[in-house]
Amino acid sequence: MKIQDAAKRKFTAAEFENAWRQATGRIAGAQRLSFSFNLVSATLPVQIQVASSDEEAAREVVGKLREELEQLNGVFDVTDDRFRTTPEIQIKLLPEAASYGVDLATVARAVRASYFGAESARIQRDREEIEVRVRLPEEERQSIEDVKRQRIILGDVAIPLSQIAEINVGQAPASITRIDRRRVFILQSDVDFTQTTGGVVTSAILNDAWPRIAADYPAVTVMTGGDQEEQARSIPVLLRNFVLALFSIYALLALAFRSYSQPFIVLSIIPFGLIGALWGHALLQLEISLLSIFGIIGLSGVIINDALLMVDYINENLLRGMQRVEGIVDAAVKRFRPIILTSLTTFFGVTPIVLEQSVQSAFLKPTAVSLGFGILIGTAVLMLIVPAMASLHLRAHDMKKKLKGRMGLRAGPALAE
């Protein structure tokens, strides 16, 4: 079960766990009962949910999708929970039971009392109240034959259970998952990241395999689950907020530079940082995940600072009266060391997380790879792109100034005007 996001609920996961434990209380016959919560999903890269009110149709769809999944390259350890069952004794009433006036509930209560015990009395001992239960001796509770020999008491008559019911050993689901009152089966698998990714495999099933058989099962719904479901929900929100953050950065830079176009020189370096993050994931054979996007968003802020250092120094050089080429080259040379040192210290700072192989570090590794490799590649490109774009910006401003001069208008500020 999954509770609401922390931003929406007014209680902590620990408080919910304790409340659930208190509300559940003691469960009779349970050998082990535990309550826990986790912050990080441990699901496999591919998890597909098949939901339907028709259980048999859902089982058939899971079987067909599993065949399609097993044929894809790089997919292994394919599992589903259709046959995750546990043995149980199944009791079915015979027609003779009606003549005795016995229903299934009566038989179930009798069998439960024989094995678990029926309360016969309560004894007060000091401050505690002790239940006294009566059940069959242990030697008469060992096999299915003991169940068949059990007698059902009806008034003064004891009827053998085998005379009024058919008793067999069958299979029952170990767990039942429902979403919106519909039975849900989960199909999942692991992938070899050197050949494919969980996102590619999931898309192949949902966009290629499922449409071919969907017409035969109109009551069945197939959807993503696990990490893929979480990413599909979170990524649009992250992208929207990231766009708002970029707009805020642009507005601040426009006010500082007194120019509507100059902030684009600084912002233009972000795509190159993204390319570096993607190269880092490819080099280390990591899948792009939600945590990778967190690192890319953080990377954008860091790499903008480096570009801002150079553009600001170019402005200062031009204000001091330097020629255009001289001012840009001087800024690139003078800012080379602080920019490189800032980027290298950041890269080496996250390197221990990137190289660590423990399970605990796996959670942060995509973020560290995005941040480290994005800054490394982005900085290398920045040293070439920013001076070139600053030069183009000045040339464009000169052309605009000449054009407005011919039209009798006054041009706006250039880099440092």
The model's pLDDT over 297-339, given as tens digits with 9 standing for 90+, comes to 888 888 888 888 888 888 888 888 888 888 888 888 888 888 8
Whether residue 341 sits in one domain with residue 250: yes
Q: How far apart are CA 79 and CA 58, in angstroms?
A: 15
Q: What long-range pairs does 20-26 form, CB within 8 A, spacing at least 24?
A: none
pLDDT for position 279? 92
pLDDT in tens, 35-60: 666 555 456 788 888 888 888 888 88
Same-domain pairing of 256 and 358: yes
Q: Tokens at residue 147, please?
A: 């169940």
Q: How many domains does the chain have?
A: 4
Q: Is the pLDDT of residue 227 over 70?
A: no
191 and 269: one domain? no
Structural domain harbouring 186: 42-84+175-224
- What's residue 2's pLDDT? 63
Q: Which CATH number is 47's domain given?
A: 3.30.70.1320
Neighbouring C-beta atoms of residue 197, cutoff 10 Å? 20
User: In this structure, are residues 405 and 411 in contact, taking their beta carbons and an 8 Å threshold?
Assistant: yes
Residues 131 and 154 occupy one common structural domain = yes
Q: Is the pTM of this model over 0.85?
A: no
Three-state DSSP state, 166 = strand
Determine how β-strand 118-125 pairs with β-strand 182-191. unpaired
For residues 397 and 253, state if they share a domain: yes
Is residue 342 scored above 80 in pLDDT? yes
Beta bridge partners of 132: 121
Mean pLDDT of 3-28: 73
Residue 413 domain-assigned? no
What does the alpha-carbon distance between residue 5 and residue 19 come to, in Å, rounded to a whole number?
18
In a shared domain, residues 92 and 76: no
pLDDT at position 5 is: 63
CA dihedral 90, 96, 98, 103 (to 10 degrees): -20
Tell me what the pLDDT averaged over the chain comes to.
80
Range with the lowest mean pLDDT among 75-79, 312-316, 363-367, 370-374? Answer: 75-79
**pLDDT of amino acid 417:** 45
Q: Do 252 and 383 fall within a single domain?
A: yes
Q: What is the mean pLDDT of residues 384-400?
A: 81
pLDDT of residue 258: 83
pLDDT computed for residue 33 by the predictor? 65
What confidence tier does 265 reach under pLDDT thresholds 50, 70, 90? confident
pLDDT, tens digit, 9 for 90 and up, residues 111-137:
888 877 778 888 888 888 888 888 878
Q: Which residues of 319-329 are buried (b: 16+ CB within 10 A; e: fewer)?
A: eeebebeebbb
pLDDT at 355 over 50: yes
Give the position of tokens 């942060």: 364
Same domain, 217 and 187: yes
Whether 252 shows a pLDDT value over 70: the answer reads yes
